[in-house]
Structure 1
């Protein structure tokens, strides 16, 4: 349920509505827009009026709220995902990430500018990471990606350096001023990864790991939630709901390709997800063309297509020598290819009235 407040309402009026909701065992989440405030209501109240009963919100509560002079209208949310829906939160959400190398010391994902996140799929060594970080920062990337813990289809594949990889990422952040995004795989690892990372990444295999989603939801770190390899939009947004419902509003969705019958690419990159998500959700959405295609030769065109479709940021894999990479070398750009990509990215962004944050 959504309570739409009148444009003239005061903070005192909003607090009064929240108090009324609390008395009925409900929780209100105010969203203050440019023109008016709406309050999203969470909690199940049955026909008997007892909190937690099955059957949906008691109609008399809606009537009570509508009778308040500060309330304009009361609407039911039709989506199963409440906090992630645009009905619940009409204004676009922007997620602030501290980045020392840019003017102002922060970037906002979900705003007018596009943000570049780039780096190796997996941290392999200090030399490999530092070489890559220096190169991508020079070309304008402001967030460094790199996996310290890596899920692998085969138990014999390289699974990352663990905490040593996190320490190397922190060293690169200190040297080049970039923020760090890295994957967290288990609930017990969340506190440790939070010590080193600026953004927590939830990979495709963990999109429905609900204990992990709850745990990152208890932090206030930005969370990039990758779409499950076979997930529908509703399943994806319900996964985001887990994080949001724990109090963490800093959720960023990531389209990284889905599994289809096609075998010429590793995944099928669903560019349509970008504009569609922007219609039904207020959350920022970014794209990962490296994972999305699994092919180095397709990363640049899919990057440009993602920008044209409205992506808020890019997550690109770059490696000094992809042919010798321990993980996913076939989808990693060389340093020269990344250098060639950035001017094209800026040109496409400029053509649709956006900019790319580089400093």
Structure 2
């Protein structure tokens, strides 16, 4: 249930918090109070009279819902504003391979207009024998490269025991598709008060994604962005996954969190990344998360989907042009 107060807002919020303190499920946003496991009959009559609306049918992910938080969430980092009608570019190699390489790729990413440098230091791989990342050494290189180019860092954190370490180096936690429902990890980043990019799981519904985000919000962290990176379907002969472009506007209707498109993981082939990136922007994405590499044939992970520098710069330009057209329509 969500109570939208029109009178005595501060006073009535305090009363509701006191009345239902034992439930530990009272959430406040401006003049709105979300109460879980509470019946309307339990609300004092004078508070009901002070409400402009009482919404009894609410989704499970109530803090993610626009019913509770009508306006868009805007995430601000040192070098980026994510949301607010802008287009945030996040680019870099799949893995941090060496200091020299990430420094080189950071310069390329920056040239294309990216304000966030991506790169994995802890890599969840299908095979235990594949490159697993440089771990803290990789985080150090990533931080150095971002700082030299005036960029933020986004990097994946794989489990809750790494949250404290990764937090020393990153500006945005990335939760990968395989970890979307790693609830211990979600709870840990929820307490960290660092923005979180939550990727949609490979077979996750949109409700699954929103409910996963609620674990982060329940910890007190509302700096959440949702990432559409393609889902696994029967149609995987020509693309790695199926990019669900419709998920972007649907999520924007359901939630206040910014939605980011990841065309690289969606298609898995570099020559299809630019069309999918443009599609994501046209669908209303607040940003793009793309992989780049100057020598993808010898990349230590996910080379086939990485854009070479020239192709990346072209993609970035096309994405910006489409975004400008959409902004003019609005």
Task: Indicate the TM-score class for this superposition, using the shorter chain for normalisation.
Answer: over 0.9
Query: Please, which of 29, 42, 50 is the counterpart of residue 61 of structure 1?
Result: 42
Task: Confirm whether residue 39 of structure 1 aligns to residue 33 of structure 2.
Answer: yes
Task: Summarize the alignment of residues 253-272 of structure 1 with structure 2, pairs less than 5 Å apart.
Answer: 253-262=226-235, 263-272=237-246
Distance (Å, rounded) in 1 between the aligned partners of 2:48 and 2:201 = 44
**Deviations 1:108-161 (CA, angstroms, capped at 9, x unpaired):** 212111000000000001111111101110221110000000000011111100
- Which one of 83, 90, 110 corresponds to residue 63 of structure 2? 83
Partner of 1:21: 17
**Match of 1:349, SS?**
helix
CA RMSD of aligned residues (A): 1.6
Q: Is the CA contact (8 Å cut-off) linking 2:87 and 2:320 kept in structure 1?
A: no
TM-score normalized by the length of structure 1: 0.87
Structure 2 length normalisation: TM-score? 0.95
**Counterpart residue number, 1:93:** 73
Query: 1:47-82 CA distances to partner (integer Å, 9 max, x unpaired)?
Result: xxxxxxxxxx233223536445x3222211431211
Aligned-partner Cα distance in 1 for 2:126–2:99: 25
Q: Structure 1, residues 330-349: CA drift from partner, whole Å, max 9, x if none?
A: 00000010111122111101
Q: Report the more deviating stretch, 71-80 or 260-269.
A: 71-80
Q: Is the 8 A contact 1:181 1:197 kept in 2?
A: yes
Task: Determine if contact 1:133/1:144 at 8 Å carries over to the other structure.
Answer: yes
**Separation of aligned partners in 2, 1:67 and 1:82:** 20
Distance 1:67 1:59 in 2: 8
Partners of 1:288 and 1:314 within 8 A in 2 = yes
**CA distance in structure 2 between the aligned counterparts of 1:39 and 1:114, rounded to whole angstroms:** 32
Compare 346-355 and 175-184 and name the one that shifted more.
346-355
Number of residue-to-residue matches in the alignment: 326
8 Å Cα contact 2:202/2:231 also seen in 1: yes
Q: Distance in 1 between matches of 2:46 and 2:94?
A: 51
Gaps of 5+ in 2: none
CA distance in 2, matches of 1:71, 1:310: 34
- Answer yes or no: is the 8 Å Cα contact 1:66–1:72 preserved in 2: no
Distance in 2, Cα, partners of 1:330 & 1:322: 6
Q: Deviations 1:221-279 (Å, cap 9, x if unpaired)?
A: 00000000000111111000000011001011000000011121111111110000011
Contact 1:253 1:285 (C-alpha < 8 Å) held by counterparts: yes
Pick the aligned partner of 2:176 from 203, 209, 215: 203
Q: Distance in 2 between matches of 1:300 and 1:77?
A: 41
Which residue is 2:5 aligned to? Answer: 5
Determine the structure 1 residue equivalent to 2:248. Answer: 274
